Amino acid sequence: DVQMTQSPSSLSASVGDRVTISCRSSQNIEKYLHWYQQKPGKAPKLLIYSASRLESGVPSRFSGSGSGTDFTLTISGLQPEDFATYYCQQSYKNPFTFGPGTKVDIK
């Protein structure tokens, strides 16, 4: 299986901060990497697909980059509604696998 790791596992930030979350895969997954946001008690919400493509309706402060084994999710100007847990997911190889998550909370 393709193992996904994320760093940091958690971070504290303030409204307006620029936040960067890293996702790394155990093998080359090209650009088959997707990002989700999950709030407590809610389903995940798609933010970015194919490493850098912004899902329709998602604010432009969210951006993704990377290819191969190293990927980044950036939130430019953190908003109160962005405090949540973020997951990456690869679909290069069956089984699809998710990262362990990065929790973003209020400093």
Partner 1 sequence: QLQLQESGPGLVKPSETLSLTCDVSGGSISTTNFYWGWVRQPPGKSLEWIGNIHYSGGTSYNPALKSRVTMSVDTSKNQFSLKLSSVTAADTAIYFCARLPDSTIFGDWFDIWGQGTMVSVSS
Q: How far apart are CA 95 and CA 83, in angstroms?
A: 29
Instruction: Give whole-number Cα distances, 24 to 31, 43, 70, 90, in Å.
Output: 12, 23, 5, 10
Q: Which is nearer to partner 1, 17 or 55 (CB)?
A: 55
Q: Which of 89, 70, 74 minimizes the C-alpha distance to 32?
A: 89
Question: Could you give the string, one character per residue 74-103, with x where binding to partner 1 holds by CB under 8 A and - elsewhere?
Answer: -------------x-x-xx-xxxxxxxx--
Q: Which residue has the tokens 């946001």?
A: 37
Site string for partner 1, 23-62 (x = CB under 8 A): --------xxxx-x-----xxxxx--xx--x-x-------
Query: Which positions touch partner 1 (CB under 8 A)?
Result: 31-34, 36, 42-46, 49-50, 53, 55, 87, 89, 91-92, 94-101
